[in-house]
Structure 1
Amino acid sequence: MTAYSTAYEALTSGRPLRPGEASQLLAALREEFGTELADAVEKQLDGQYRRTEADTNGTFRKKRVTYGASMRIVAAFRHLAAAPYRPIIPNPRDNRSTS
């Protein structure tokens, strides 16, 4: 079952999700979406930066640099999608004295 269908089923079942379950479900959905996005971008870039007969050394070098930058972005998508979720907890302000 995909993360999307699991999320849909959880939202339409009428049973409230516990915070831990919701967090895991959103993390799975984020990971699946990030992987699909990276795969789609990589597929779009495939073959676009290959050397042609009309390319000079300079234009091919520019293509290689552009392709490398694009693949670094794809790698960043994959890394962010797989990164564990860490909630940001604000620093609690406590004006009480400890003495």
Structure 2
Amino acid sequence: MTQIPPQFWSGPVVAAALAECDLPTVLEKVRRAHGWTQGQLAEAVGYSQSWVSKVLRGRQPLTVDQVREISIQIGVPLHCSDSEPEGMTIRRSAETSARPWR
């Protein structure tokens, strides 16, 4: 997999999405930066294309574990604050505390 240049992460849209813990926006920007289809993004993160589509449309909540796993797999640096931005949802994982993710 090609590395995304470091300046990608500090671009206004991506930096704002990282600050707001908006993983769907980050994933969409990563997908476009690589020139991937949703299917290729799904392969990179280890989920189905339909699951990725639901995440990108905000219809699939994510657990903290999923966010960590996906971030590691595609090299997403997460700089999320401990505050809870409004309008975010997450499924609770039994072994981790809940954090808000879109």
With normalisation by structure 1, the TM-score equals 0.27
Query: Quick check: which one's helix share is greater?
Result: 1
Looking at both structures, which has the greater relative contact order when contacts are Cα pairs under 8 Å and sequence separation is at least 6?
1
Higher Rg: 1
With normalisation by structure 2, the TM-score equals 0.26
